[in-house]
Amino acid sequence: MSTDPTGTDQRGPLRIGTAPPPGSPGDRAIRATRRTRRWGSWYVAEHRFRVMRSYAQTVTVTAIGNPIIYLYALGVGLATLVDANLGADAVGGVSYLAFVAPALLGSAAIAVASEEFTYPIMLGFKWNPVFYGMNASPIQPGQIINGIVISVAVRMVLTCGIFYGFMLLFGAVPSPTGFLAVFVALLTGLGFGAVLMAYTATLTEDTGQLAMVMRFVILPMTLFSGTFFPLDLLPVWLQWIGWISPLWHGTELARVFTYGLSEPLWLSALHVLYLAVLLALGWVWARRITARRLNK
């Protein structure tokens, strides 16, 4: 008798120790599934890419339009004001453009995360329940989550790569190690996004929770993460917002690479660790919720 109702014990009771006889239907099934066991996550990613193609225009326009608008408005427009009034290296010891650009890069990754880790999840479970269709094939719940992470990572790298290209064009990257900021932005976006994905996976209904997240999590995070002004300008009792914010950790680390912000090595290591832990926790959590929801 199968005794474990949670389904965590995948071995089953009558584990006879021997594989099904060669040539039997069971044996054929086992051989037919090897590819999906290995590559299933990529097949799900393939699905996501196909879907993204249907809104490829939006993806391209935001990937190219965002950096131009933000770098121009803040890095050139606002910067003129800041640099003229406070001196050309008043904020962080560099031009305001160099100061704000890595933060905007991180925000671009967060923007991709807040789009791709929310609605596609609600969709797959509820609005157009394609996850159930995937789960009826040899694809496993964990692979669905992996596939989404893979596809979002690809979109994020492309978006951030383009953004970085514009940063170079605007002359916002004094340091030769600046390109590493693209990967920092990726880690930032995925770290935040994985937790957001797991949270979204717990929602059986969207009665405005996602809009609340946008308004009361993502927006304040973008404003108070040392993005537009250094975190230590905030009163001490508000600085915690930065410390728990993946965007602050990502931005500070990116600044180390783009203009050589000086911070102790342990702090840089902590940034990486914090983002990696968020990514790992969110990812594992999302896989568990998905496995539970799809096994009814």
Q: How far is the CB of 140 from another protein (least distance, A)?
A: 6
Length of the chain: 296
Instruction: Kindly provide the b/e burial profile for residues 251-264, where b requires at least 16 CB atoms within 10 angstroms of the residue's own CB.
Output: bbbbbbbbbebeee
Please, which residue, 122 or 139, has the CB nearer to another protein? 139
In whole angstroms, the minimum distance from the beta carbon of 55 to another protein comes to 9
Smallest gap, in angstroms, from Cβ of residue 187 to another protein?
28
Distance separating alpha carbons of residues 53 and 55, to the nearest angstrom = 5
Number of CB atoms found within 10 A of residue 293's CB: 17
Give whichever of 143 and 227 is closer to another protein, judged by the CB atom: 143
Cβ neighbours of residue 58 under 8 Å, at least 6 residues apart?
Answer: none
CB of 158 to another protein, least distance (A): 20
- Taking the complex as a whole, how short is the minimal distance between the CB of residue 64 and another protein, in angstroms? 23
Name the token pair of 63: 């990937």
Return the number of the residue (50 or 215) whose C-beta is nearest another protein: 50
User: How does 123-156 read in b/e, with b if 16+ C-beta sit within 10 Å?
Assistant: ebbeeeebbeebbeebbbbbbbbbbbbbbbbebb
Nearest Cα residue to 181 out of 201, 210, 161: 161
Nearer to another protein, 49 or 72 (CB): 49
CB of 139 to another protein, least distance (A): 5
Compare residues 29 and 276 and give the one whose CB is closer to another protein.
29
Interface contacts to another protein, rule CB under 8 A: 1-7, 9-15, 20, 24-26, 28-30, 32-37, 39-40, 43-44, 46-47, 50-51, 54, 123, 128-130, 132-140, 294-296
Nearer to another protein, 105 or 134 (CB): 134
* Rounded-to-integer distance, Cα 133 and Cα 97, Å: 48
What's the rounded Cα separation, in Å, for the pair 113 and 6?
31
